[in-house]
Amino acid sequence: MADTLSPRPLRRRRLAILVAALAAVTALACWGAYRWAEAGARAALTLNGDQRLGLYASSIRNAVGRYDYLPFLVARDHEVLDLLDAPSTLGRDAVNRRLETANAAAGSAALYVVDRGGLALASSNWADPAQSFVGQRYDFRPYFRQAVETGSGRYFGIGVTTGLPGYFLSHAVRRGEALIGVAVVKIDLEPIQRDWAAGGERVLVTDENGIVFLSSHADWKYRALRQLPDAVTARLAQTRQYDRSDLTPLGLHDGPLMENGARLVGLPASGPTRRAYLMQELALPEFGWTIRFLSDLEPVKAEAAGAAVLTAMGILLLAAAAALGWQRRQTLRLQHEARVTLERRVEERTAELLTANRILREAQEELVQAGKLAALGQMSAALAHEINQPLAAIRTFVASTRLLAERGETAMVRDNLAMISDLAERMALLSGHLKEFARKGPARVEAVPVARAMDRALALLASRLREEEVQVDRSIPPDARVRGDAVRLEQVFVNLLRNAVDAMEGGEERRLTLTAGRNGEGWEIRIRDTGTGIAEAHQFQLFDPFFTTKEVGQGLGLGLSLSYGIVRDFGGTLRAENNPDGGACFVVQLPEAQ
């Protein structure tokens, strides 16, 4: 029929449907993995935030609790009572010195007493004319009015005399039932903020009006979370709680509320952009404050994106494996059909039995040859990458051996031939390691002399070192022996040395320093160069597969990743650091061979 599809368009349509289905499944799986990883990372972030909030609350309570007894003791002091009953110069001097001594012993910011009219009669800072509270009137301060009305008070504000912030605790001073004054201690909470800032935290404490007065970030202090009502602004101006502060809004943008009580918020970053945070709150009802902790959501997004990428890679690998399996089944089916056809032809044409057998043998040989070519095609790139430098070394040794033979130096000829034999054996072993890279398995463990492995790696790179005029300083003890595989350890050294030479290309000083020393964990081998060093942005990506800073076509970014895996299989570690005087240093830590 005219509308019947031919086999080729039908196969194309089926392939398009399969590709579309695979894309849809991959997208759904990536979305699910992203949401799942995001939820897990956010839950961990929330748990950490809850713990941090508890620590912050304890630090604040401890900082205030150390001094809450002071106003009570001052209010019971007989000299203070006498001064408030009958103010005199002699009594004021005695109380000033008494408060100065008590304040120094307790470590508080200031300790002072005011009469029932709010006038400060004595203070621990009486000796400093510029900072002294003596003679100042504080009847407008809420902590004074609270002590008069309820017997005690607590209040945070900026000092109108000193201009320094502090937390004020007050206690009424009574003679019998009569109020004669108020004792006040000022507590400096700045050390808490410095600890937060030093720890890189994002924490802020707000009062009942939503004004930030304690924060790990100095530019957040004395800012309102939201625009303040006029009545609140007027009341703050009257009490001078945040004297000489404009209390501009912080620019906090509220996002959705999470199920665990946390909230997504945005804060202005550089320019017009906003940075997203997870904000958690903890109330301090005894102070009327609220502690807020902000967690950066960028690591959450990165972890979720990584999970989505891994999921996509896993699905695509499974799809590729399924496609290869289907292709193999198709090949086996075609082979089976070919054998059936050949057998039928043999039965039908007995006269052509010998010819048919010859054709069958040729077909089988072609299939075997095709399999060999396919295997060679898969291994060619890796094999060329790994044996290129041994081949270059062999060519160098052959050239030098020819010259030595012409000179009649048979001993050196034998040495060169032995080295060529070792390199040939190494190339044979390298080809076998290609399959080891394709599957995870334990490496062969033996006692490997570090000096010999380093010498062979240097020999492989000898022509490159001479071409780049690299000076090599080598200090490796002959007794340095580690647990590992000789060939794979040489591969690690070759990768690290080649990277070091690449980093020094075009530099004025090109020097390689190779050392080995014993420590408590075995042997530490250091490969140090005088190149450009490691950029801070690349510190945590060096050993990721396919990460490279080289130009396109100059590397796949697999050398350091493979080296990291080899060293780890030996029970060791590989790390990178910058030298103080410039350049990079790769440190290989391996267990000592007993």
pLDDT tens, residue by residue, 289-319:
899 888 887 887 787 788 888 888 888 888 8
Q: Give CATH for domain 443-590.
A: 3.30.565.10
pLDDT mean across residues, the chain? 81
Percent of residues, the chain, with pLDDT higher than 70: 87
pLDDT at 374 (0 to 100): 36
Q: Indicate if the pLDDT at residue 78 is higher than 50.
A: yes
Whether residue 514 has pLDDT greater than 90: yes
Is residue 363's pLDDT more than 60? Answer: no
Q: DSSP letters along 291-318, please?
A: EEEEEESHHHHHHHHHHHHHHHHHHHHH
Q: How many CA atoms lie within 13 A of 45 on its CB side?
A: 25
Residue with the bigger pLDDT between 41 and 144: it is: 144
Residue 368: per-residue pLDDT: 31
pLDDT of residue 388 exceeding 80, the answer is: no
Q: Is 80 exceeded by the pLDDT of residue 152? A: yes
> Residue 279: enclosing H or E segment and its boundaries?
strand 274-284
Instruction: Reply yes or no on whether the pLDDT at 431 is more than 50.
Output: yes
Task: Give the pLDDT score at 370.
Answer: 39
Does the pLDDT at position 437 exceed 70? no
Confidence (pLDDT) at 386: 55
Q: Given this model, what pLDDT does residue 375 score?
A: 33
pLDDT at 317: 87
A 10 A CB-CB count for 258 gives 15
- Could you state, in order of their start, the residue ranges of all structural domains in the chain? 70-187, 369-439, 443-590
Q: What is the pLDDT of residue 450?
A: 93
Higher pLDDT, 431 or 164: 164
pLDDT at 285 over 50: yes
Cα 444 to Cα 92: distance, rounded to the nearest angstrom: 87
- Which pLDDT does position 183 carry in this prediction? 94
DSSP 8-state code for residue 76: H
- pLDDT confidence band for 266 (50 / 70 / 90): confident
pLDDT at 3 over 70: no
Q: Which residues of 354-365 are buried (b: 16+ CB within 10 A; e: fewer)?
A: eebeeebeeeee
Higher pLDDT, 253 or 132: 132
Q: Higher model confidence: residue 173 or residue 463?
A: 173
Does the pLDDT at position 373 exceed 60? no
Mean pLDDT value across residues 171-178: 90
Give 384's pLDDT tier (boundaries 50, 70, 90): low
Higher pLDDT, 295 or 185: 185
CATH topology (fold) of 70-187: Beta-Lactamase (3.30.450)
Which residues touch 417 (CB under 8 Å, ≥6 apart)? 401
What pTM does this model have?
0.49
Ranked by mean pLDDT, the top range of 303-312, 382-391, 528-537, 566-575 is: 566-575
Residue 537 has pLDDT above 70, yes or no: yes
DSSP 157: E
Report, as an integer, the average pLDDT of 423-442.
Answer: 56
> Stretch 237-257: mean pLDDT, rounded?
79
| Three-class DSSP category at 205 | strand
